[in-house]
Structure 1
Amino acid sequence: MRPPPFAVTLEEHAVLPAIGDESPVYTDIWKTFPSVRESLWDFDSKRLADLDKGNVRLQVISSLPGMASVNPSGCRAANDELAAHIARHPKRFAGFAALPMETPEEAAAELRRAVRDCGLVGAMIDNHLPNGTHYHEKRFWPVFEAAQELDVPIYIHPAPATDESLRTRFAGPWPQAVTRGLSGGCWGWHEDVGLHIIKLFAAGLFAHLPRLKIIIGHMGEMLPMMLDRLDGSRFFSQGSVGKFSEVWDRNIWVTTSGMFSVRTLEMLLKVTRKERVMFSVDTPFNSSERGWRFLEEIAEKGVFETEGELEGFAFGNAAGLLGLRV
């Protein structure tokens, strides 16, 4: 099978000055990824060159995770900054809004403004507040109600682990970099987002908002292998939230976001509708060129049955979900 003609990517990060990139977590991360920090600040030559090397026609940009949730004025300014960058490269960039989830009413109002006035195509939010709070409590629901009203998705992205979690769950007789890895992209990020989605389900959010659109990354944040387990559990049978697999099919979209594993993608596709699975790179922690090699491998190994399904994965599903012109 031939590779797709181009790609669209949607878990792709940048630093917006109004929010910045200064935090203890990122001080450690920059030690592990010294070249990434510079790339995060670039919206022109380096970023466009990276897109071209990976045949990415359009990139959906979001602010660096873990920086926005307690900063209402910063989010507003950052969304304006992002809109200005998109205006300079309208055929190459789109954007997800940053939201101050600590103040849900302000976050909902900013989502409406960012979509209606700035032209952003949804929001990317941290998986939890700095103290570890998830968003299943009803005080957070105005944000999700606004997303359903606007018919735009919310992308729930992993957030840095709390200091307490680092100390009690992930620290050990190994370097600090290993602790960060265990709490982040090697394990902790994914289990925590998966848990969060289950909490939203158990709290009845999806029953309350049946047209809500949620995106999660990293091949489904460990949830695909748990779908049958969750459906078969009697713990949820006493409520009125339905089956988790129904929510999975109706409300959840999944990106690959830098996990370039064919066999993991094949497992995801066994339990997920093909039109709900989308390619992403995780710029600049991975390169678009590396992502393109993954698409070529998928085509070569015939992971999708038709070229139409492969093109849907590479760009069509994202374009349909986000209303992108590609």
Structure 2
Amino acid sequence: MRIITVEEHFHHPGSVGRVMELSGPAPITPDAGFGDFLGDFAPDPEAAEQLGGSRLKHMDDVGIDVQVVSHGANSPSALDHPEAVTLCRRVNDDLARQISEHPTRFRGFATIPLHDPRAAADELRRCVGDLGFVGTLVTGTCGGLFLDDARFEPVLAAAEAVDLPIYVHPGMPQAPVSTAYYAGAWPAAVQMLFSGPGFGWHAEAGIHVLRLILSGALDRHPNLKLLSGHWGELAAGWLDRFDEVFGWAKALERPVSEYYRHSVWITPSGMFSQNQLDYYLAEVGADRIIYSEDFPYVVRDDVSEFLNRADVDDDQREAIAHRNAERVLRIEP
């Protein structure tokens, strides 16, 4: 069985350093143990920066045929600074170079400079047309704004025109949100995890998709395709509730669930749970689930094993493993 995973990341070391320089203070005030925690929390640099080597060995070991790779933490896509344009282009060119060394094993998602939406749209078109990328991935907000803001209309229009998805990935909440919601009588490391991969950035990424629905963006761009990781970032489990509550306002042409099931595909991001798979099969169906591991932040030894033993029929298994990715991202079988 062919397996394609689509939330797999790399780091461009020069760009990461520059993004950290230009981003200003971190949203979390460090304490005595925070530096050591970050060192332990960070992925292996070689696995994060290189597509060959240990990454490729891992893919072979766990049965992944193709990874769709995007920039991970400290992405210039979310950098609210003019230099983001140059940094994103540098990231994309390096990713394309590395993909060219293993062209049957990797595809790429573009890193686009949301600071300049027109430049971001141009970069998406360049990456698809010249580099062969299969969509784009955005990391959280830029300047505190989500993609439903009117300034990002060129980005939505470009993604719809190239007919490839925007992966709406989590990003760290801004400092006022992190402090108000996630700071408490616990270490800074706990605040970072609470506001980030423990809960907070998943909620924010789910809100991001919901904002695109509520704003009418999917009425203006009915063919826009969205990917949402971690089983739909909490939002995919609330579709009935959304229909009921937002229906009271009578502000949308259709129920929220209809927009969601038409425009959004969800991925597990390495959260391999039969209970979650059962639930989301019932909520969105096998044709709306695309597989992902979340490498190098989540490294699983059961990537193919989970799907092979999952309580699904063969057609559902093939759809999740590779067929949906081939169709939505136009990856050749």
Q: 2:118, 2:162 → 1: CA distance?
A: 15
- Identify the range of structure 1 (160-169 vs 73-82) with the bigger mean alpha-carbon deviation: 160-169
Q: 1:201, 1:40 → 2: CA distance?
A: 33
Q: After TM superposition, give the deviation of residue 297 of structure 1 in Å.
A: 3.5
- Identify the range of structure 1 (29-38 vs 41-50) with the bigger mean alpha-carbon deviation: 29-38
Task: Output the amino acid matched with 2:326.
Answer: A
- 1:324 matched to 2:320: no
2:9 to 6, 9, 13: 13
Q: Retained in 1: the 8 A contact 2:270–2:300?
A: no
1:189 alignment partner in structure 2: 201
1:132-190 CA-to-partner distances (Å, cap 9, x unmatched) read 32121111111010011111111010001222222221111112111111111111011
2:289 alignment partner in structure 1: 277
Q: Retained in 1: the 8 A contact 2:169–2:229?
A: yes
Task: Output the amino acid matched with 2:39.
Answer: K
Percent identity of the aligned residues?
32
2:110 alignment partner in structure 1: 97
1:222-279 CA-to-partner distances (Å, cap 9, x unmatched) read 1122101111125664324421111111100111112111101111111102111011
- 1:84 matched to 2:97: yes
Task: Output the amino acid matched with 1:242.
Answer: R
Task: Output the amino acid matched with 2:70.
Answer: S
Q: 1:157, 1:32 → 2: CA distance?
A: 23
SS in 2 for 1:124: strand
1:163 alignment partner in structure 2: 175
Task: Output the amino acid matched with 1:244.
Answer: V
Q: After TM superposition, give the deviation of residue 122 of structure 1 in Å.
A: 0.4
1:1-40 CA-to-partner distances (Å, cap 9, x unmatched) read xxxx231100000012452256458967742424433420
Structure 1: runs of 5 or more not aligned: none
Alignment of 1:75-154 (within 5 A): 75-129=88-142, 131-154=143-166
2:65 alignment partner in structure 1: 57
2:50 to 42, 52, 55: 42
Q: What is the Cα-based RMSD across aligned positions, in Å? A: 1.9
CA gap 1:165/1:123 in 2 versus in 1, 3 angstroms: same
2:277 alignment partner in structure 1: 265
1:312 alignment partner in structure 2: 319
Alignment of 1:145-294 (within 5 A): 145-234=157-246, 237-294=249-306
Q: 1:29, 1:200 → 2: CA distance?
A: 35
Q: Retained in 1: the 8 A contact 2:247–2:255?
A: no
Structure 2 length normalisation: TM-score?
0.89
Q: Retained in 2: the 8 A contact 1:7–1:58?
A: yes
Q: 1:237, 1:222 → 2: CA distance?
A: 22
Q: Retained in 2: the 8 A contact 1:97–1:124?
A: yes
Structure 1 length normalisation: TM-score?
0.91
Q: Retained in 2: the 8 A contact 1:156–1:214?
A: yes
1:18-64 CA-to-partner distances (Å, cap 9, x unmatched) read 52256458967742424433420122111110100110011000011
Q: 2:203, 2:298 → 1: CA distance?
A: 21
SS in 1 for 2:302: helix
CA gap 1:311/1:40 in 2 versus in 1, 3 angstroms: same
SS in 2 for 1:56: coil
Q: 2:190, 2:46 → 1: CA distance?
A: 23
- Identify the range of structure 1 (161-170 vs 220-229) with the bigger mean alpha-carbon deviation: 161-170
Task: Output the amino acid matched with 2:186.
Answer: W
- Identify the range of structure 1 (38-47 vs 99-108) with the bigger mean alpha-carbon deviation: 38-47
Q: 1:37, 1:84 → 2: CA distance?
A: 18
Q: After TM superposition, give the deviation of residue 196 of structure 1 in Å.
A: 1.4
CA gap 1:34/1:17 in 2 versus in 1, 3 angstroms: closer
CA gap 1:231/1:61 in 2 versus in 1, 3 angstroms: same
Q: Retained in 2: the 8 A contact 1:65–1:158?
A: no
SS in 1 for 2:15: coil
Q: 1:28, 1:260 → 2: CA distance?
A: 29
Q: 1:96, 1:115 → 2: CA distance?
A: 9
Q: Retained in 1: the 8 A contact 2:139–2:169?
A: yes
CA gap 1:254/1:231 in 2 versus in 1, 3 angstroms: same
